[in-house]
Chains A and B, each alone.
Chain A
Amino acid sequence: MYIDWIWGLIGGLCIGCAGAIYLLGNGRIMGASGILGGLVDGSARSSWVERGAFLAGLILIPALVQSMGVPAVDTNLTSNIALVIAAGLLVGLGTRIGNGCTSGHGVCGISRLSPRGIVSTFVYIGAGAVMVVVLRTLIEGL
């Protein structure tokens, strides 16, 4: 358990460097929901190659690392498919309406002291915390 925060910090530094490369290299904000969402709704036809390349790296590297098993990670995702579908819809809809997620508003927004990024991060962490309390209460109530 005590080692988790060290891995968290190392992983976090990697994520921050990824964002720094994207910003200083391509002049763009690294937001996972924005990069994917622009491809989904067709609002970013001119930059699809760059977006596709980003997503390819994002999917390929964890696959490679996981296949080598260091460190092996389980997603521990709930087996309740209805819950998974509801959550996926909410995340997709919410990140696009609110214009960002944990990477765009959280990492990239907070680091430039963006009011929108900071407010958004507080709100989605708050909403997430409420949801976890609701879930825990329901499970314990059963």
Chain B
Amino acid sequence: MRAVIAFLSGSLFGLGLHLSGMTNTDKVQGFLDFFGTWDPTLAFVMGGAIIPMFIAWRLTRSRTPIVGGDFPKPADPKLDRSLILGAILFGMGWGLVGLCPGPALASISYGGFGGVIFLIAMIAGMALAPRAKQILDTSTAGA
């Protein structure tokens, strides 16, 4: 059951990324180009996605997940260094070529050689992350 729901969700996610044009790196970099010819499409995608999710979060108050168990814990208000540093690194990579993890996966069948290289590099970065986080935490503790 968990796998069926996950497959459905992933499928709809992929369809949405494809239809919205978010697998087109020009549109993503166009959105980030605030001082050039700005492309607002990404803002519509975000806005459109937030509506059903907002309703879904409301619904979590009065029920439990279909498969059982618990919903995620309430949002953590604590901001820390790794959150900010991670977002800066991610944003830099995102701006460089216009790909983030979802679209990178969704476009892998038609993204050509470059798309595959990006995915491999991204997975390598993910594999290195626990080590980087450890170093970050140690340096915080020492400070």
Contacts and interface: CB of A to CB of B under 8 A. Distances in A.
A12 B23 CA distance: 13
Classify the secondary structure of A's interface with B. Answer: helix
Given A22-B6, A87-B121, A8 B48 contact: yes
B-side binding surface: helix, strand, loop or mixed?
Answer: helix
Contact of A16 (B14, B48, B111, B126): B48
A35 B82 CA distance: 19
Contacts of A17: 12, 16, 52
In this complex, the interface size class of chain A, counting residues with CB under 8 Å from chain B, is 35 or more
Contacts of B60: 23-24
Given A13-B16, A61-B14, A130-B95, A36 B125 contact: no
B12 A18 contact: yes
A4 B41 contact: yes
Contacts, number: 483
A30 B14 CA distance: 12
Given A33-B126, A92-B93, A125-B32, 20 more contacts: A4-B41, A12-B16, A12-B48, A17-B52, A26-B67, A40-B127, A41-B130, A50-B3, A57-B11, A62-B14, A84-B117, A84-B121, A91-B99, A94-B91, A97-B86, A98-B82, A116-B79, A119-B79, A127-B91, A128-B95
Interface of B: 2-27, 29, 32-36, 39-57, 59-60, 63-67, 69-72, 75-79, 82-102, 104-112, 114-115, 117-130, 132-133, 136
15 contacts: A5-B40, A7-B19, A7-B21, A11-B21, A21-B5, A62-B17, A76-B98, A81-B117, A87-B94, A88-B119, A91-B94, A92-B125, A97-B89, A124-B91, A129-B95
